[in-house]
Structure 1
Amino acid sequence: MDSPVQIPFKSFLQLKRDDPSAVYLQIVFGFIRAIQAGLLPEGTRLPGTRVLCKLLEVNRNTLIKALQDLESQGFIEILPNKGIFILSDQKQKKTAHVPAATAANATPFTFQRSAILENPTETSDLPYQFNDGQPDIRLVHNDVLARLYVSKLKRRRNLVAREHIQARSHEQFKAHFANFLNLTRGIRISTANLLTAGSHEISLYLAAKLLISPGDKVVVASPGYYLPNMTLADSGAHIIPAPVDEDGLLTQVLQEICEAQPIRLLYLTSNYHYPTTACLSAKRRMEVVELANRYGFVILEDDYDYDFHYDNNPVLPLAAFDAKDRVVYVGSFGRSLPSGFAYGFVAGPADFIRELEKHQNILEPGKDVIKEQVLTDWIQDGEVHRLSKKNRKIYQERRDGFVALLQAKLGSRIRFRVPPRGLAVWVEWLEDFSLVKLQKECAARGLFLPKTILYQTKGLTATRIGFGNLDPEEMAAAVEILRQSLEAVLQYR
């Protein structure tokens, strides 16, 4: 293999000092793209940090931070006194001996490239898989939805005056949906305060684009939700992390940030913090709203997992207590339904919603009248409540079974709290070891741990383990594999 110094780093690492994303993140994403494209095959030895600093024209602290991030994600391995090696299973693609620099710039025209919007999703064919808290698609009631959808399609009136029916049907759907949100989440909105979208991600994207201008300072909880953080950063936000504990965001730190500089927005998953599952305490809820009113920032509240709560009196969102329209409330609906029937929504001031609709008309110019009519019937008939109640019972049983397995198999090695909602448990490991090595041991035994659920920093070794997609037998097998893999890692560390 060629000397590492001869690797054409400038062909795939083009650092932009005026880019809103941090330089170390540009380095991280540049290496990930190069590895995935096969430009840096497995086993490639990188130059030393001093040489790399000179090649990339960055300071050593920035480079070290990027390399630590790459190592924690499992893309490289840093061996003392030996060097830095690419540690990816991506194999170099066979081309007609095109030089790397030429292959990377093969497109005959220029276009904007994002160093932020990388897809971290991984797939696997292993028999057992943990995720970050996704529902079980096997529990979806496809037959009922299909029957309702077909019956709506067969009605002749749906084929006449399509535009008129579309507008009227959409308003009817919004009216019932707004009422549903008022009843279930304690917010007080009308159709003028509501935008429905094809997905939670589209809702968040639209809200971020309208609320954030390049350079705006946005506070996010840390550790945080990687997908919304990418959306916020891509909108031009300067991200400022604030720590969380068992009661959610530390409001004292938030106040200190606000006193030091003007803040445009706070992004918050108040009811079920991602990834730690902590719920913002009642005292801190009041403090967050009071700080927003005092310092004039917007609260972008993301209630992405409301469908899965296991207590009789679920915690209401901040939007339910927002008397001065400081909260823009983004959420999801129907995560237990087939993906085509799930919805995202934004609730906020009427003039803000009108502006959102202008942008939505470009992304989603048409409405699925039939789907909206089916869901309107489901809401009217109470079927949504019945289905939600049935699924919550199933997932609560799975949660209880899962935490019992964790306690029985790993109790002395982990710390966790039973989450009152959601489909994942935040597990903190009490011993020091490499999560990347644990991931490999699990894979060798048939259990897939995606990198997105692994959290490892200097003071934290934790995993967000989803249980909703597993039935009791699968759950027991997966936790046993996790136990065996941990024993193997600890034995050879």
Structure 2
Amino acid sequence: MIAYQSHLVIDKTAKQPAYLQLANQMTNLIRGGELRAGQKLLGSRQLALFLNIHRKTVVQAYDELLAQGWLESRAGSGTYVVENLPEMTPQPLADSQKLIINPAKTAGFLFNEAPHLQRPVLLSSFQFHLDDGFPDPRLAPLNELTRAYRSNLLHGNSYVRLGYGDTKGSAWLRRELADYLNETRGLKITLENVLILRGTIMGLYLVSTSLLKKGDNVVVGSLSWAGANMNFMQAGANVLKLSVDEYGPVVEELEQLCKKQPIRLVYLTSHHHYPTTVALRADRRLKLLQLAEEYGFIVFEDDYDYDFHYLSKPLLPLASADRAGMVLYCGSFTKAISPAFRVGYLVGPENVINHLAQLRRIIDRQGDLILENSFAELLQSGVIQRHLRKSLRAYRERRDVFCELLRTTLGNCLDFQVPDGGMAVWTQFDKSIDLALLAEKAEKKDLFFSNGMHHNSPGSALNATRLGFASSTPEELEQCVDILKSVI
């Protein structure tokens, strides 16, 4: 034990108690084989003297190791490393192993990293932003939500309120959502057709994991959301792509695919195609539903910003015209209020909702019941509906201001169509402009926007990106465009 005294170093300035430092270091010596099974340890006084610490510290460390089963105390004899440890003889490291010295950074076991999951997480901390199309949280009804959350947190039966709930989500929210979606989307559903989620990405994961199998064919647009494609690839599906034009995905190509091979699922953002923002034309909608019924494939309709359409009357979702139970309709409050509030929903036939709820249970036992009930209260009282009307007016003004700024200030450098809805403008930059370099230069002036590289298919360079306008005021948008102009 004296020989290993140099391995025991107590830092009296550290936050961790000295006895735990000593216990952890001795545990490492036992694990490493430096202290052998059955070896007698120094007495508490002697070790305290060697380490220049109080004897009570050593006693506490020994007691901790006794409780954990590393040591045993023998009456009248002293303290020993337990006998039943496996023999651990330190082995010299091979040259290839000497680089792996920090287990907190590098695992000792092998695993395969999936390239399709290598997608950076967006954490923008810049003063100005033309993002992917996010809402302005300054418009969110935070005072009303605070009051509703407090009320649901404090009032009612605490055992029920703060306990386990239905895996499908709050019954109150599901009921309010069913009424709201029936009224605004033309659906004909009850609460039994609704599964509450953390967001659309959770709905995609549940559907991909439980309804797809390896080798299934999934169809998306040639320009599509990477988050959806990642889920399909993770499930082992083959991702097939349709051309996208000014009216959305070309459904006629889908019919040809169906004739050649079985299609299991079609993913689309019918209301505002991601990333180009165009709406799927009416005749293509009808054709898609006919094909789904004829060939038996699932339609996953991601309606990520239905509430923000700037024409007099938006098209109803595909789900409203589904008569054969082929459509799974997904949305969330992420774009309506704020990404911080993880409340979304999936609508589908009851048997599918029950099936997906069983899988959800082993991933995330339930959502935030207090938050879900708070949203139910805001829906019931009309707060969310009033917020959406106010936000729609604000975002329409910002869209108009932003598009006019782009046209008058940068019209010779880029091309775009004024979107009928949504929170972003699909912008095609002149081929002479290096979009990646432009984004880097803009960041140095405290402006963030995506360089659009993740929209490129292998071998293609669109030189286009989404410029979000909703999260900035008209004055901020003017500053954003001025920065863009300066870096161009």
- Interval containing the TM-score (normalised by the shorter chain): 0.7 to 0.9
Check if 1:478 corresponds to 2:476.
no
Instruction: Show the counterpart of 1:203.
Output: 203
Give the Cα separation in 2 of the matches to 1:236 and 1:417.
36
SS at match of 2:253: helix
Number of equivalences: 389
SS at match of 2:239: strand
> What TM-score, normalized by structure 2, do the two folds share?
0.74
Q: Evaluate the alpha carbon distance shift between residue 459 and residue 262 of structure 1 in structure 2; reply closer, same or farther with a 3 A threshold.
A: same
SS at match of 1:440: helix
Alignment of 1:355-394 (within 5 A): 355-394=355-394
Deviations 1:372-430 (A, max 9, x none): 33222212221111111111111111111111101111123322111121110001224
> What TM-score, normalized by structure 1, do the two folds share?
0.73
SS at match of 1:266: strand
**Contact 1:454–1:464 (CA<8 Å) still a contact in 2?**
no
Check if 1:285 corresponds to 2:285.
yes
Q: Greater helix percent: which structure? A: 1
Give the Cα separation in 2 of the matches to 1:414 and 1:322.
39
Instruction: Show the counterpart of 1:244.
Output: 244
Counterpart amino acid of residue 158 in structure 1: N
Alignment of 1:141-152 (within 5 A): 141-152=141-152
Give the Cα separation in 2 of the matches to 1:454 and 1:262.
28
User: Which one is further off, 272-281 or 298-307?
Assistant: 298-307
Query: Among the aligned pairs, what percent are the same residue?
Result: 35
Instruction: Show the counterpart of 1:25.
Output: none
Instruction: Show the counterpart of 1:446.
Output: 446
**Contact 1:266–1:300 (CA<8 Å) still a contact in 2?**
yes
User: Which one is further off, 118-127 or 234-243?
Assistant: 118-127
Deviations 1:50-106 (A, max 9, x none): xxxxxxxxxxxxxxxxxxxxxxxxxxxxxxxxxxxxxxxxxxxxxxx9987999994
Give the Cα separation in 2 of the matches to 1:366 and 1:413.
49
Give the Cα separation in 2 of the matches to 1:277 and 1:120.
23
SS at match of 1:189: coil
User: Which one is further off, 360-369 or 392-401?
Assistant: 360-369
Q: CA deviation at 1:364?
A: 2.4
SS at match of 1:437: helix
User: Which one is further off, 392-401 or 359-368?
Assistant: 359-368
**Contact 2:116–2:233 (CA<8 Å) still a contact in 1?**
yes
Instruction: Show the counterpart of 1:351.
Output: 351
Give the Cα separation in 2 of the matches to 1:429 and 1:229.
25
Q: CA deviation at 1:365?
A: 1.4
Instruction: Show the counterpart of 1:71.
Output: none
SS at match of 1:280: coil
Structure 1: 5+ residue stretches without partners: 1-96, 487-493
Alignment of 1:7-406 (within 5 A): 106-155=106-155, 157-162=156-161, 166=165, 170-333=170-333, 335-339=335-339, 341-406=341-406
Counterpart amino acid of residue 247 in structure 1: Y
Counterpart amino acid of residue 481 in structure 1: I
User: Which one is further off, 241-250 or 292-301?
Assistant: 292-301
Q: CA deviation at 1:237?
A: 1.1
User: Which one is further off, 221-230 or 293-302?
Assistant: 293-302
Counterpart amino acid of residue 421 in structure 1: G
Q: Evaluate the alpha carbon distance shift between residue 272 and residue 485 of structure 1 in structure 2; reply closer, same or farther with a 3 A threshold.
A: same
Q: Evaluate the alpha carbon distance shift between residue 473 and residue 234 of structure 1 in structure 2; reply closer, same or farther with a 3 A threshold.
A: same
Q: Evaluate the alpha carbon distance shift between residue 267 and residue 336 of structure 1 in structure 2; reply closer, same or farther with a 3 A threshold.
A: closer
Give the Cα separation in 2 of the matches to 1:408 and 1:441.
22
**Contact 1:185–1:317 (CA<8 Å) still a contact in 2?**
yes
Instruction: Show the counterpart of 1:16.
Output: none
Q: Evaluate the alpha carbon distance shift between residue 221 and residue 159 of structure 1 in structure 2; reply closer, same or farther with a 3 A threshold.
A: same
SS at match of 1:335: coil
**Contact 1:307–1:333 (CA<8 Å) still a contact in 2?**
no
**Contact 2:248–2:281 (CA<8 Å) still a contact in 1?**
yes
Counterpart amino acid of residue 450 in structure 1: S
**Contact 2:334–2:340 (CA<8 Å) still a contact in 1?**
no
Give the Cα separation in 2 of the matches to 1:413 and 1:481.
14
Instruction: Show the counterpart of 1:468.
Output: 470
